[in-house]
Amino acid sequence: MTKKNIPVKLNETYEVPIRDLGIHGEGIGSVNDFTVFVPGALPGETVKATVQTAKKSYAQGRLISIEKPSPCRTEPTCPAYKSCGGCQISHLTYEGQLSVKERRVRDVMKRIGGYEEDIVLPILGASHPWNYRNKMAVPVSQVTSGPVAGYYRQGSHQIVPIDGCLIQEEENNRLLRFAEGFMVRHHLQGYNEKSGKGSIRHIMGRVGNNGEVMAVIITAAPKLPFSALWVKEMHELLPEVVSIYHNVQSKKGNTILGTEIHHLWGKEKLTASLMGLSFEVSPFSFFQVHKEQAEVLYQKALDFADLSGNETVIDAYCGTGTISLCLAKKAKRVIGIEIVPPAIEDAKKNAVFNGISNVEFYAADAGKLMPELYEKGERPDVIVMDPVRAGCSESVLKAAAAMEPKRIVYVSCNPATFARDAKLLRDLGYEVKKVQPVDMFPQTMHVETVALMSRKDT
The catalytic site residues sit at: 413
User: What backbone phi and psi angles, to 5 degrees, belong to 366?
Assistant: -60, -35
Q: What sign does the dihedral 294-295-301-305 (CA atoms) show?
A: positive
DSSP conformation class of 168: B
3-state secondary structure labels for all residues of 247-281: EECCCCCCCCCCCEEEEEEECCCEEEEECCEEEEE
For 371, the 3-state DSSP assignment is: helix
Order of strands, edge to edge, in the sheet holding 213-219? 159-161, 146-152, 135-143, 200-207, 213-219, 241-248, 260-266
Measured in residues, the chain has a length of 458
The H or E element spanning position 322 is: helix 322-328
Closest of 203, 177, 324, 308 to residue 257, by C-alpha: 203
Q: E strands of 307-395, at which residues?
A: 312-315, 333-338, 359-363, 382-385
Contacts of residue 200, defined as CB under 8 A and 6 or more positions apart, other chains included, come to 140, 147, 179, 183, 188, 189, 190, 191, 217, 218, 219
Strand 46-54, strand 13-21: pairing:
antiparallel
Q: What sign does the dihedral 427-418-276-128 (CA atoms) show?
A: negative
The H or E element spanning position 202 is: strand 200-207
List b or e across 208-233, with b for residues whose CB sees 16 or more CB atoms inside 10 angstroms.
beeebbbbbbbbbeeebbbbeebbeb
The H or E element spanning position 140 is: strand 135-143
Alpha carbons 20 and 23: distance in angstroms, whole number: 10
Strand partners, 244: 215, 265
Alpha carbons 41 and 201: distance in angstroms, whole number: 34
Distance between alpha carbon 139 and the CA centroid of its chain, in Å? Answer: 18
